[in-house]
Chain A
Amino acid sequence: MFNGMDRRDFLKLIGLGAAVIVMETGNFASAADKTIAQDTLTFLQLSDTHWGFSDPKINPDFAGTLKKAIAQINGMKSQPDFIMFTGDVTHTTDDPKERRKRMGEAREIIGSLKSKNIRMMPGEHDAGLDNGEAFQEYFGKTHYTFDYKGVHFIVVDNVSDPTSSIGDTQLQWLSAEMEKLDKDSRIVIFTHRPLFDLYPQWDWWTRDGAKAIDILTPYKNVVVFYGHIHQENHHMTGHIEHHAARGMLFPLPAPGSVPKRVQLPWDSTQPYRGVGFRSAVPKTDGYGYVLTEFPIIKA
């Protein structure tokens, strides 16, 4: 049974010398020790696939990395309940025709996932130049809600407005959606950018993210999953957890660790270093998620 990580999958990864970290909201533990009820919700988060990016110095396998990840996921014994793509599905282009071509190609590749329960949201590379027009043509709405196994999921779009803003209209929608829920509902928010000021010097923030956090704060059980920064990051605003995912194509430096926010170059001694995807499984006590990070395995 696929539950965050199948034990055999895990052992296989270890056998291949891959580095896997399982994080239980602050507590690191061995994946092999995990025993999770079979009916538990499991979802995968894939982020920042940047389809159309083509710099071999950064990732010489720019056309193959996403396909490798999909092969890994399809090869798992059991499939997740759903797979969430948290934005920057495509790499930006000024040409609207090329943008749509990339969207179409990405949709086709993603369509090869065995799981057909795929949820999409845009990043600024997908939506920042046309307010999400092309993205909506190919992938549908940019903000929406859905429920799964007792968890309420809310997708918040903080990229279609190129000023890194959610905007008052969507904030009102978010507020109205939250008001429908009990204060102790299990709630997951998906965004592309961090809602909090992670590192505004690198544009790693949402201009009106504090307003969204104010809306979420009265609710006891809220976890935010986001992308954009191409690395894991775990942060708390009050009782709300914020978990950034690795990118699928290249890593970025830790916030403020270097003068410039530049893509980290490919390291042939450690191919696919810093890229991958994750699974999330609600903890059995009802609060927080067991996160399992999956590296990309060279076929």
Chain B
Amino acid sequence: MIDWKYLFRIAAVATAIALAALAVVPSFPARLSAENISPVASQGNEQIIRITAKRFEYMPNKIKLKKGVAVILNFTSLDRHHGFNCPGLGIRADIFPGQANNVRIVPQKAGTYEFHCDVFCGGGHEDMSGEIIVED
């Protein structure tokens, strides 16, 4: 006999744990500019954008965001220590293998913002870049 109440309780607990994991107090030093970023706590319903770093690329390397809409950038590295630096949006993060890092942002200004790896990682380091496009 299935105990539906018990199953619902387990599902509720699992959901709460998952949301808590996404409650994004950035787990790395992130520089947040007052102009473009709202460094407020996660509301739990943001879109999560997974960004994978490996020598010498980010996947994806073009990220489209909506002005004023909160998202969580979820960083992981497949090989070694990389950086994520987007000076136009005031975001910088260290990305280590086996360690997911999250940052919540609310872009406040439309535009194209370049990002790049700022931790020297070898011969193609200078090419490791991408852009965040914030649309109205």
- Asked if B129 and A260 sit within 8 Å, CB to CB, the answer is yes
* Complex Cα–Cα for A200 and B85 (A): 9
* Complex Cα–Cα for A203 and B121 (A): 13
Residues of chain B contacted by A260 (CB below 8 angstroms): 129
- Asked if A207 and B122 sit within 8 Å, CB to CB, the answer is no
**21 A-B contacts, Cβ less than 8 Å apart?**
A91-B123, A92-B120, A92-B122, A92-B123, A94-B122, A94-B123, A124-B120, A162-B81, A164-B118, A164-B120, A200-B87, A200-B118, A201-B88, A201-B114, A201-B116, A202-B116, A203-B85, A203-B117, A203-B126, A207-B118, A261-B126
Known contacts A201-B88, A201-B114, A203-B116; is A163 also within 8 Å of B83 by CB? Answer: yes
The winner among A91, A129, A201, A207 for most chain B CB atoms within 10 A is: A201
* Complex Cα–Cα for A146 and B85 (A): 35
- Asked if B120 and A93 sit within 8 Å, CB to CB, the answer is no
Where chain A touches its partner, the secondary structure class is loop
Min CB distance, B31 to chain A, in Å? 10
Residues of chain B contacted by A200 (CB below 8 angstroms): 85, 87, 118
Partner of B119, one of A91, A163, A201, A259: A163
Partner of B120, one of A91, A94, A162, A261: A162
Seen from chain B, the residues whose Cβ lies within 8 Å of a Cβ on chain A are 81, 83, 85, 87-88, 94, 114, 116-123, 125-126, 129
Q: Mark A77-120, 1 if CB is under 8 A from B, else 0.
A: 00000000000000111100000000000000000000000000
Q: Mark A158-185, 1 if CB is under 8 A from B, else 0.
A: 0100111000000000000000000000
Seen from chain A, the residues whose Cβ lies within 8 Å of a Cβ on chain B are 91-94, 124, 128-129, 159, 162-164, 200-203, 207, 259-261
Residues of chain A contacted by B118 (CB below 8 angstroms): 163-164, 200, 203, 207
Min CB distance, A194 to chain B, in Å? 14
Known contacts A128-B120, A162-B121, A201-B114; 16 additional CB pairs below 8 A are A92-B123, A93-B123, A94-B122, A124-B120, A129-B120, A129-B121, A129-B122, A164-B118, A200-B85, A200-B118, A201-B88, A201-B116, A202-B116, A203-B126, A260-B129, A261-B126
Min CB distance, B124 to chain A, in Å? 10
